[in-house]
Amino acid sequence: MQSFRIQGGYPLHGEMTPAGNKNAALPLLAACLLTDEPVTLHNVPQIGDVHTMRALLESLGVEIITLDETTWQVQARHIQPADLDPDITRRIRASILLAGPMSARFGELTLPPPGGDVIGRRRVDTHILALRALGAQASYNRAEKVFQFRAQGLHGADILLDEASVTATENAIMAAVLARGETVIRNAASEPHIQELCHFLNVLGAHIEQIGSNTLHIQGVKQLHGGEFPIGPDYLEVVSFIGAAVVTRGSIRIRNAGPEYLPMIKLVFQRLGVHWETEGQDIVVPAEQKLEIEPDLGNAIPEISVMPWPAFPTDLMSIAIVAATQAKGSILFHDWMYPSRMYFTDKLVGMGAQIVLCDPHRAIVQGPTRLYGENLESPDIRAGMALVLAALAAKGESTIRNVGQIDRGYARVDEKLRALGAHIERVEE
């Protein structure tokens, strides 16, 4: 097991470029199953979850050639719908993304339960309901502990998702592009990675309209062809590095940051007294930050609550909480989506933060507080990165164990931070 050893108190300075969006790379790799022609993906993030998805695809017979460090050529020509290794599927939540394309092109898939971060119950019901609407048989075999998907040709449908689930929307899209006739997906999620998936599929010959809205119109086609596609920057990594600069009182430039996806996130961070400037596709974080929480009218304690895109995303809640510990004032954080998202705050309290965990979904942060180095363990990807930020801001040395969790979502984060002046090293235990 590897750990990060961090000496806090050093401001970040310099430039960095984020990796490709993990949450786009995973569905794009799964979507390569929809064609037997070669597909070239550029800016593939070199992180644990992406390599796990590669292993899953290769176990089905997909040929993947590494053209350079971040460019892969993927060809799903000779596919064998084999039994997937449950030890691999439980490593990532995104293994469920195989259901849509496998049902559409090959008509079958037996899938052990998907895994991922332990942040509360994560339903798969919406996936099953959407695929059933398109004509697939989808069920859970409790005796064998596997999901079973079978289809003899899918047909278009008018689908109302019972929740705006990101991965369920992606599965429905991938299945619908090869279904006969027209499909309308209502209450669709619209995150940047879903928009990228739609644009990618259109490059391969799909007909998807109203991309970026919550109602997608898809005209099914008989087959898709090959193509090339660049994966856009990971906005979660971008905001994580914005947070790292802010809590260390540093100044950094983030190249190719995709600022068009950040307006709502910027509004929320402005409530914490955080600001940044946009120069073309770059984001510049100045060292001078107000870091004072903006109260609601009547001097009421403000609330930051997560909501489906384009509102504030749940995956950035942990980063915002750490930033709030360094801002003057009180603020309530509310994540109604996942009942375990807030549990990492006890680690921040151990470092000196003033946080009241009201219930599994809500926490009040009072700042600013001095943080002190501590021995910590990463519970999941986003909380793990938040602890890295806390350690960078803290006085003294911190050790963060189980950094494999962080590596699942952030490519060489320690190297990037060192290049910006952070005192961080990766050590073997």
Residue positions annotated with a catalytic role? 117
- Report whether 36 contacts 62 (CB < 8 A): no
Within 10 angstroms of residue 121's Cβ, the number of other Cβ atoms is 7
43: Cβ–Cβ under 8 A, 6 or more apart, which residues?
Answer: 19, 20, 70, 71, 230, 231, 232
- Report whether 92 contacts 52 (CB < 8 A): yes
- For residue 417, which phi and psi values (nearest 5 degrees)? -70, -40
10: Cβ–Cβ under 8 A, 6 or more apart, which residues?
Answer: 248, 392, 421, 422, 423
**Distance set, CA 261 to CA 44, 96, 199, 255, 256 (Å):** 19, 26, 15, 14, 12
For the chain, helix (H) and strand (E) counts, in that order, are 14, 23
Nearest to 34 by CA among 206, 258, 215: 206
Q: In this structure, what DSSP letter does residue 34 have?
A: G
Nearest to 363 by CA among 318, 332, 339: 332
| DSSP of 38-84 | -EEEES---SHHHHHHHHHHHHTT-EEEEEETTEEEEE--S---PPP
- C-alpha span between 374 and 372 (Å, rounded): 6
Packing angle between helix 22-31 and helix 192-203, nearest 10 degrees?
A: 30
- Report whether 318 contacts 385 (CB < 8 A): yes
- For residue 384, which phi and psi values (nearest 5 degrees)? -60, -45
Burial of 413 (0-12, 13-18, 19+ CB in 10 A): buried
**Distance set, CA 93 to CA 20, 89, 159, 224, 242 (Å):** 18, 8, 23, 26, 26
Place of tokens 């470029």: 17
